[in-house]
Structure 1
Amino acid sequence: MHSRNVYTSLLDFEVLARSYPPLSQQFVVHTPIYFYHAPDLQLPSVSAVAPSTSTMTLHRGPCLTQALLKRDFGLELQLPKDRLCPPVPNRLNYVLWIQDIVTELQRTLPIVFRGRTTCTVRGLDIGTGASAIYPLLACSLEPTWMFSATELDDLSYAHAQRNIRANRLSDRIYVVRVEADTNEDGPHTPTTKDEIEIQFTMCNPPFYSSAAEITDSEARKERSPFGVCTGAPVEMITPGGEVHFVSAMVPDKQPTTSSRKFSYLGPRWYTSMLGQMGSVVEVVRVFKELGITNYAITEFVQGQTRRWAVGWCVDGWRLSDVDPCALHISILLIPVQNIARIANPNPTLQRLLPPRNTLKFDIVMGENDALGCLEKVLRSVEDATFTPDDGANPEGSLSSYVVSVTCDTWSRGARRKRKRQQEKAANGNVVNRNRIQMDVQWLYGKERSLFESFASHVARKLNSDDGG
C-alpha cells in the first residue's frame, strides 16, 4: 500500500458508522478491518450481522465506499446496484502514485523548459465508470488539477455526470460519452473543439476477454471474495482482455485520426492498472517490441488483493526509481515509496523492471569539502551546466544539484581528441577518508548510455584524489 495512503492502519467500523449513520443500518462489525497487509501480520476474521442476507450482499460494498469517501474526502457518491463498486483504498493507491509522477514532472519542467515554472495539470481517465472515482479522488486531493474522462456505457455515463455535479466539480472534470470501438483501433480519447494538454492518463480496463475467463478465474481463487462483484459485462469484459486494451494505447498502435489526437507542450505519462501479473508480463513484452525503455511498474496491495500498474513515456521525461524525498525516511512495515520500480519484487517482476534511473555510488572522500569537490568535477566537464536544487530536499539533510549535458565531453576518447589528458601526481601524505553516498537521478533525456557514462565519470573523479 502507498506510504501516504490513509488506510495503512486498521479501520474502526464503530467510529466510521458514527460519522456516516447509513453504514450502521447495514451491518455491525465486531472487529476492525485491516486494509494494509504486512507479510507477518495475522488478519482477524470479520464477523458481521446484517438485517438480511440480501441487504448485506447488495449494499455492503457501496455503503462502505460511500462512508469512506464522505468521511475522508468530503465526497458524495451514488452508485447503481448493477455496476462496479470501487474499493477506496485500492483506488487511492493509484491516485497517490499519479501524484508522485506529476510531482516528478513538475520538478523537471522548469529545467527542460527554462522560464516555464509550471503548467496546468490535467489528467485523462479512460473509462471513468459510474463512480468517476479517479477524477473525484484526485481533484479532492489536488485543488488545481483538471480532468477529462471517457465512458461508453450510458448508465455509467449518467451516474458519473451526476456524481461530478453533486460534488460541484463540473468546472474541473469533463466527461465525454464515446462509442465502443468496432475496428480494434484502441480505446477512445475524448474530443472537444479545443486541443487539450494532458500530463497523464489513467485507466482501469476490463480484466477479462470472456465470461468463461471470469468463471475460470473465480474457480482458481483459494479464498472466497469479501464482497459480491456487481460489475456489468461492459465493465468486466473486453475483446482480448486487459492486455489488448492497454497495448492499443501504446503509441505505435494509436490511431492516427486527428479526432483522437492531443497536442501537448509538456510531459505526458500514460498509465494503466492491471489485474493479473501475467498481463504485466505481456504488456512489458509489447514495450520491448516497440523499443520503449522509459516505463514504470508499481504494485498496489490492499489486504489479500494485489494489483499492478504500468506507465510509459515516449519522450525523455524520466521518473525516480523511488521517491527521492523519502530516501532518508524509514517507517515500520511501510517501505520507501517506489515510483518507477518495485522495491522488493518477486522473481517474475524483477525480470520485467525498467532500467534504473537512479544510480548510487559509494564515494570515499578525504578531508576536503565533499560539495566543493563535486563542483570542481562538474566545472571540469566541458559543456556541463549545474545549479543547486534546493527544492529536491526541503528538510536540508541532503544536497542536490541539477546538471545538464548535451554530449560526451568527459570520456577518455573525448579527452584525447581535445588533448587534455591529465596525469595525477602521487601524494604520499596520509589523510582521513570519509565514505558518503552519491545518488545520480536521471531527470530528462533519451540516451541512457550518456547518462550512465556521465554518472560513472563523476564518481570516478570524486574517488580519485578528492575530485582533482
Structure 2
Amino acid sequence: MKQIAEKTQLHPRNRHQGRYDFDRLVQALPELGNKVILSLRGEKTVNFADPEAVKMLNRALLAADYGIQHWNIPEGFLCPPVPGRADYIHHLADLLAQTGKQGIPHSASLLDIGTGANCIYPLIGQHEYGWRFTGTDVSKEALSHAQQIIQANPGLSTRIRLRRQKTPGAIFAGVVTKTDRFDATLCNPPFHASAQEALEGNTRKRKNLGLNDATPALNFGGQHSELWCEGGELAFIRQMVVESRTIARQVLWFTSLVSKAEHMRSIEHALREAGVAMVVKQPMSQGQKQSRFIAWSYLSPEERLAWAKKWVK
C-alpha cells in the first residue's frame, strides 16, 4: 500500500484567504450589513455567537463567491464553515489532477456522503470546477431543503442530484447502483460518538466564546445524523472502508475528512486490511484549526491513469 503525505497549507485557490471583506459581502447581501459590528480592534466582523449572523455570513459568501443567490437552512441544521469546505474541494481537485496528469478535470462525477440540508460541497464544487454531484443523506427533511436550494438556483438541477439513504447504518450500500461510476467520494463524517459528547462539545465552544450555558448554540447547529453516530468518526470511517470494498471498481478515489489526528493510525490499519492499492493523506488548516482528509484507491497506477483518460476531450 503506497502512501503519500503533503505539507499543511491553506490552499492557494481558496477564495477565502485572509480576513473577510465585509464591504464586498454586504454589497452581495445588503441585509448582512445589519449584522456587521466592530471588533475590539475596530475591524468589521459579525457576532459568531449569533446564529442568524453566521447563517447570513454564509449566504453572503455563497452569493459573492459561488453565484448562489438563494441559500438557507432551517433552524437546528448544521451551518458549515464555507472556507474549510472549499479547501477540501480544492485539494480533491489536485488529487484528481495528479491522477490524470492532464490538469483538473471538468467532467468529474462525485458522490457526497451526508450532503445535509446545506448541500455545501456540491454548491462549491459545481461552481469551481463544473463537477456533477450525487448527494446522499439519511434525513428526508435535509434532502428536502437541499432540493429547495437546487431548484431555487438556475442551472443546479442538471449538476446536482440527491438520493436518500434508507438503510440505517449503511453508507454506500443502497445509494450506489451497479451502473454508477464516481471519480471520487467525499464525506464529513459525524464527529461525536454520542448525543452527550456532542452536547459537551457545544458547551466547550460556548465557553471558548465567553458565553454562558443559557446562550443558544444554534450557530453550531446540527441534527443527530450530522453530529454523532455510534462509535463516532472512527467507527463511521471504518465502516466506509469496509463498504468501499464492495464497489472498489466503481470509484477512482474514496475520500473522507478526519477531524481527529489520533484516528489516522486505526484508519490506515483498516485500509491495509481492505487491500487498497494507494493511500493519500492531505493535511489542511484554517486559522488555528488543523484538519485533514484521507483518500484511498483500489486501482493500480495503470488503471487509475486509464480511468482518467475519459476526462480528456
Question: What TM-score bracket applies, with the shorter chain setting the length?
Answer: 0.7 to 0.9
CA offsets, 1:255-306, max 9 Å, x none? Answer: 85xxxx5864xx6000001221122232122123334351111122112222
1:306 aligns to 2:290 (yes or no): yes
Whether 1:124 and 2:117 are equivalent positions in the alignment is no
User: Given that residues 273 and 307 in structure 1 are in contact (C-alpha distance below 8 angstroms), is that contact kept between their aligned partners in structure 2?
Assistant: yes
On the 8 A contact 1:79/1:130 being kept in 2, the answer is: yes
Give the structure 2 partner of residue 247 of structure 1: 238
State the identity %: 28
CA distance in 2, matches of 1:86, 1:71: 17
Q: Which residue of 1 aligns with 2:175?
A: 190
Q: State the distance in 1 between where 2:233 and 2:180 align.
A: 26
Residue 5 of structure 1 aligns to a residue whose secondary structure is coil
The 3 A distance-change label for structure 1 pair 136 and 48 is closer
Q: CA deviation at 1:90?
A: 0.3
Which residue pairs with 2:158 in the alignment? 171
* The one of 118, 122, 126 aligned to 1:139: 126
Distance 2:261 2:249 in 1: 33
Change (3 A) 1:291 1:189: same
Deviation, 1:147, is 1.2
Quick one: which amino acid aligns to residue 242 of structure 1? Answer: E
Query: Which residue of 1 is the match for residue 83 of structure 2?
Result: 89
With over 3 angstroms needed to count, the CA separation of the structure-2 counterparts of 1:89 and 1:305, relative to structure 1, is: same
Query: What are structure 2's unaligned runs of at least 5 residues?
Result: 1-9, 211-216, 307-313
Structure 2 distance, partners of 1:157, 1:139, is 18
Aligned to 2:92: 98
Between the aligned partners of 2:289 and 2:53, the Cα distance in structure 1 is 18
Report SS of the residue matched to 2:252. coil
TM-score normalized by structure 2?
0.80
- Partner in structure 1 of residue 135 of structure 2: 149
1:248 partner amino acid: Q
1:67 partnered with 2:51: no
Inter-CA distance 131–246: structure 2 relative to 1 (3 Å threshold): same
CA positional deviation for 1:254 = 4.4
The aligned amino acid for 2:143 is Y
The 5 Å alignment of 1:368-379 reads none
Is 2:166–2:174's contact at 8 Å kept on the other side of the alignment? no
Q: Give the Cα–Cα distance (whole angstroms) in 2 for the partners of residues 280 and 152 of structure 1.
A: 26
CA–CA distance in structure 1, aligned partners of residues 157 and 182 of structure 2? 18
Cα offset, 1:174, TM superposition: 1.0
Distance 1:107 1:18 in 2: 39
User: Residues 130 and 155 of structure 1 are in contact (CA less than 8 Å); yes or no, is this contact kept in structure 2?
Assistant: yes
In structure 2, the residue corresponding to 1:175 is in which secondary structure? strand
Distance 2:42 2:301 in 1: 45
Please report how far the alpha carbon of residue 216 of structure 1 lies from its aligned counterpart in structure 2 after TM superposition. 4.6
Match runs of 1:184-263 below 5 Å: 184-188=169-173, 190-191=175-176, 195-217=179-201, 224-225=208-209, 228-250=219-241, 252-254=242-244, 256=246, 261=247
Give 2:311's aligned residue.
none
Equivalent position of 1:403 in the other structure: none
**What is the aligned partner in structure 2 of residue 346 from structure 1?**
none
Distance 2:28 2:106 in 1: 38
Matched residue of 1:160: which SS? helix
Shift of 1:213: 2.2
Whether contact under 8 Å (1:271, 1:310) holds in the other structure is yes
Does 2:251 match 1:290? no
Alpha-carbon shift at residue 106 of structure 1 (Å): 2.8
User: In structure 1, what is the Cα distance between the partners aligned to 2:81 and 2:13?
Assistant: 17
Helix, strand or coil for the counterpart of 2:240?
coil
**C-alpha contact (below 8 Å) 2:173/2:243 kept by paired residues:** no
1:12-53 per-residue CA deviation (whole Å, 9 max, x = no partner) reads 32332233211111232347xxxxxxxxxxxx6978687xxx
Maintained 8 Å contact 2:249/2:298: no
Partner residue, 1:372: none
- How far apart, in 2, do the equivalents of 1:201 and 1:163 lie? 21
Which one scores higher on RCO, CA 8 angstroms, separation ≥ 6?
A: 2
Supply the distance in 1 between the matched residues of 2:43 and 2:264 (Cα, whole angstroms).
Answer: 32
Counterpart in 2 of 1:382? none
Task: Compute the displacement of 1:70 (Å).
Answer: 0.3
CA contact (8 A) 2:277 2:299 kept: no
CA distance in 1, matches of 2:22, 2:106: 41
TM-score by length of 1: 0.55
Deviation at 1:134, TM superposition (A): 0.5
SS of 2:163's partner is strand
Task: Please state how far the C-alpha of 1:101 moved relative to its aligned partner.
Answer: 1.5
Q: Distance in 2 between matches of 1:270 and 1:284?
A: 13
1:321 equivalent in structure 2: none
| Equivalent residues of 1:129, 1:160 under 8 A apart | yes
CA contact (8 A) 1:292 1:314 kept: yes
Q: Distance in 2 between matches of 1:300 and 1:140?
A: 21
Deviation at 1:231, TM superposition (A): 1.0
Greater gyration radius: 1
